[in-house]
Amino acid sequence: MSALRIALVSLLVLFLSGCGYNQIQINDEGVNAAWSEVLNQYKRRADLIPNLVQVVQGYAAHEKEVLTQVTAARANVAGIKATPELVNDPEAFAKFQKAQGEMSSALARLLVVAENYPNLKADGQFRDLQAQLEGTENRITVARNRYIKAVQAYNVGVRTFPNNLTAMVFG
């Protein structure tokens, strides 16, 4: 009888060691880390806005409408609490995406306006901020791509055997 118990316990341990629970947790943490990086890059972009608006305002004060749109878009983005759980709430995530889209659009309009002011384009601080903004946009793209890959790895992990059984048991 004890040999049977030892065999059953051994089989249980063997089964649980290959159940994929740890891999699911690793992939889940990877998704959370990738999303946090996306949020960090969006925050970095939002943090550049006040300085950019201030420099442009010095040269193009009568472009008040564009400056107001950029400032309003930044305020809208700042008003959304961006957490890792945001992606699990479709309504909040849609609001987040809309706000980020409005921010991108407002920044694009601001840069188009800047093209009309040669002195502004020649300003060293503006060029530095523009380079930082371009770099941040690239970082956002890279972070979003890493997030997509992390989500894909997670999804593949929970859909393959035996991880799919573990995912069903643990939700």
pLDDT score of 12 more than 70? no
Q: 31-35, 39-43, 80-84, 118-122: which has the minimum mean pLDDT?
A: 80-84
The answer to whether residue 100 is domain-embedded is yes
The answer to whether residue 80 is domain-embedded is yes
Nearest-5° angle of CA 65, CA 45, CA 129?
75
Rounded to a whole number of angstroms, the CA Rg of the chain reads: 24
The answer to whether residue 55 is domain-embedded is yes
User: Which of 3-7, 29-33, 57-61, 157-161 shows the highest mean pLDDT?
Assistant: 29-33
The answer to whether residue 16 is domain-embedded is no
At 53, the amino acid letter reads V
The answer to whether residue 53 is domain-embedded is yes
Neighbours of 137 (CB within 10 A): 14
Q: How many domains does the chain have?
A: 1
Neighbours of 143 (CB within 10 A): 19
Neighbours of 71 (CB within 10 A): 15
Could you tell me the CATH number of the domain that includes residue 80? 1.20.1440.20
Give this prediction's pTM. Answer: 0.82
The answer to whether residue 63 is domain-embedded is yes
The answer to whether residue 137 is domain-embedded is yes
Across the chain, mean pLDDT equals 87
The answer to whether residue 165 is domain-embedded is no
The answer to whether residues 140 and 42 touch, using CB atoms and an 8 Å cutoff, is yes
Alpha helices for the chain (secondary structure H)? 2-17, 21-59, 64-78, 90-114, 118-122, 124-159, 163-170
Residue 97 has a pLDDT of 93
What CA–CA distance (Å, rounded) separates 71 from 69? 5
What CA–CA distance (Å, rounded) separates 72 from 48? 14
Range of the domain at 113: 36-155
Instruction: Report which of 148, 133, 127 is spatially closest to residue 103, judged by C-alpha positions.
Output: 133
The answer to whether residues 116 and 46 touch, using CB atoms and an 8 Å cutoff, is no
User: Residue 113: what are its φ and ψ, rounded to 5°?
Assistant: -60, -40
The answer to whether residues 64 and 124 touch, using CB atoms and an 8 Å cutoff, is no
